[in-house]
Amino acid sequence: MHPKTQQILEVFEEINKIPRRSKHEEQISTWLQEWSRSRGFDTKTDSLNNVLIKVPATVGYENSTTFILQGHMDMVCEKCKDSRHDFSRDPIRCICDGDWMRGDGTSIGADDGIALALGLVLAEAGEKGEIGHPPLELLFTVDEETGLTGARGLDTGFFEGKILLNLDSEDEGIFIIGCAGGQNSLIILPVEWEEFDFKKEDLFRFFRLSVEGLEGGHSGVEINKQRANGIQLLFLALTELRKKLGTENIRLVLMNGGSVHNAIPSTAEAFVALHREKLEKAEKTVSDLRNAFKAEYAKTDPGIILNLEEINREIIFEVAEDKIRREEMPCIRVFSPETEEKLVKLILGLPHGVYRMSETIPGLVETSNNLATVRTVENEVMIVSSQRSSNNLRLEEISKKVENIAKLAGAWVEHEPKYPAWEPDLKSKLLLKCKQVYTETFGKEPEVEVIHAGLECGIIGSVHEGMEMISFGPTIKDAHSPSEKIFIPSIEKVWIFLENLFKTY
C-alpha cells in the first residue's frame, strides 16, 4: 500500500469519529478549522459553516495559478435495520475487507469524507516538502446531500481560484465534466382520522407490514439499475391485502418509508389492524407476494424481505411521529377509508425511476424521479419526491407531473428551489490537460462522462463566472446505503494523478 494511501485512510477514520450528518456539520467544521490553524494555514468560515483553508504554494510554484480542491463535509446516514448506530453521536466504525473499506452496517461517508482526507494530507505533504503544488484553496462545503445549500450560499469573494477540482465522483479513471440539475418536492396529504376503539381487539389485531433488505443506493447514480423501491412495494402489498381481505377488514394506522431524498428507499413499514378471521388469508397473501417480489427482483435486490408480524399496540404509540401517548389517547386512530384510498392511489401513481434517456449521450439518463420518503405526522402524510434532469424543460415537466398527480389526490405541493445542471465543455483546457496527464501516468486514456446526479460544480459554475471545473475521485460503491464501500487501491491512483497534474503547472 502506498504510504500516502495509509495516511489518507487514517485521516478519514479521524473524520469519521465526528458526527457530520447533513445540516449538522458544526463539529466537523470546527475540527477542520482547528486542524488548519494548528498547522499554520490561513482559514476562514462563513455563516453556513463552509470552510476555506489556504495552502501556500511550494517552492517553484509561487507564480502558478491557484487550484481549488473541493468536497463536502456532510454524509448520507444510512444503516441496516438491526443497527443501533446513532449518527448524531457514535463514531463510524471503518472495516478493511481486502481491498475495500466499509462500515459496520452503516454508510461509511466516503462520499465525501475521502475528499476532506485527500485535501488535508495533500496540504501536509506540501508543507513537509514531500510533494510540489501550486497555491491551493481547500473548499469544504456543508449540506451538499440535502439541498446543496452550502454551495448555494458561497459569497463571490469567499475563494479566489478559477480552476476547481471537485473530489466528489465515485469511479476512478472517469472524469466528470457535467451533471444533472434537480428539484425536490414536498407533497402534503391531509389525513382524516377515525377512532379505533380498543374493545375491537376482540375482532382485530395489530400487525407490522414491512419491506426490508433492499439494495437502495444513490437516486441519481443507481436510478437506472431497476432496483426496487421499498415504498412502492409496501403499497403494492397493501393494495393486494385490501383487495383480498376487503377494505373493512384491514385498516391503516400509520406508515413510514425511506430516509433521505437522494437515496432509493431500501425499507418501508406500515402498521395495520387486521380482522382476526382474515389472518390466515392475510398470511397467505403476504407469502405469495414475498415469492413474487423475490422472483421479480432476484438480480437487483436478492435480499428482499416482506414480513407481516403481530405486534403489541403499545409499539404503535412508540413509533408514531406525533408522540401520541396512551393516557392521552384511549383509542388508536386509523385512516378514514377516503384518506386511505387517496393515499394508496397517490403513492402508486407517482413516478419513480428513469423518465427519459438522453438523445445525445448514449446510456445517460436524462430525466428521472425518486419517490424518496413517506412519513405519517399528526394530521398529514408527508411525501418527498426528488426530480433530476440535465434538460431544464424536462425537469419542469417531471416536476409538474408530480405536482398534478398530487393535486388530483387532494394534496398540495411545496417545491424547493431548483439546482442547476452543469453543462459539459469538451474543449476545456483543464479537461485536455487532465486527460494527457492521466494517459501518460497510467498508460491508458480516462473515460469522460456526464452523470445523472447533482454536483456542486453546477451551482459554483453558475454563480462564479469563468470557472474551469472537473470532477473525479476514488472508486466508491453503493454510496448512500449501508453497503457503501471504497476501493483502497483507487485512492493511490488519485493521489499519483494529482501529484503529476500539479507538476505540469
The three-class DSSP label of residue 33 is helix
Q: How many residues belong to the chain?
A: 505
Strand 181-190, strand 412-415: pairing = antiparallel
Separation of alpha carbons 45 and 51, rounded Å: 5
Crossing angle of helices 3-15 and 488-503, in 10° steps, is: 110
- For cell 481549488, name the residue: 68
Crossing angle of helices 110-127 and 488-503, in 10° steps, is: 50
Separation of alpha carbons 461 and 439, rounded Å: 27
Separation of alpha carbons 343 and 352, rounded Å: 16
**Which of 393, 389, 213 minimizes the C-alpha distance to 293?**
213
Separation of alpha carbons 145 and 372, rounded Å: 13
Q: Measure Cα distances from 433 to 136, 220, 279, 464 in Å.
A: 18, 28, 67, 22
- For cell 398527480, name the residue: 405
Q: Are 293 and 286 in contact, with CB atoms under 8 Å apart? A: no
Q: Is the dihedral of CA 163, 169, 175, 181 positive or negative?
A: negative
Say whether 144 is catalytic: yes
The H or E element containing residue 403 is helix 392-408
Greatest CA separation found in the chain? 84
Separation of alpha carbons 35 and 73, rounded Å: 14
27 grid coordinates: 463539529
Separation of alpha carbons 404 and 401, rounded Å: 5
One-character DSSP codes across 165-213: EE---SSTTEEEEEE-EEEEEEEEEE--EEEE-GGGGGTEEEEEEEEE-
Percentages helix, strand, coil for the chain (3-state, rounded to 5) are 35, 30, 40
Set 144, 170, 484, 499: catalytic member:
144
**Which of 384, 304, 296, 301 minimizes the C-alpha distance to 347?**
384
The H or E element containing residue 374 is strand 365-376
Set 74, 111, 478, 484: catalytic member:
74
- For cell 411521529, name the residue: 321
User: Which residue spans within 191-291 are E strands per DSSP?
Assistant: 193-196, 204-212, 250-257, 268-275
Separation of alpha carbons 172 and 474, rounded Å: 5
Q: Are 112 and 168 in contact, with CB atoms under 8 Å apart? A: yes
Catalytic residues: 74, 144
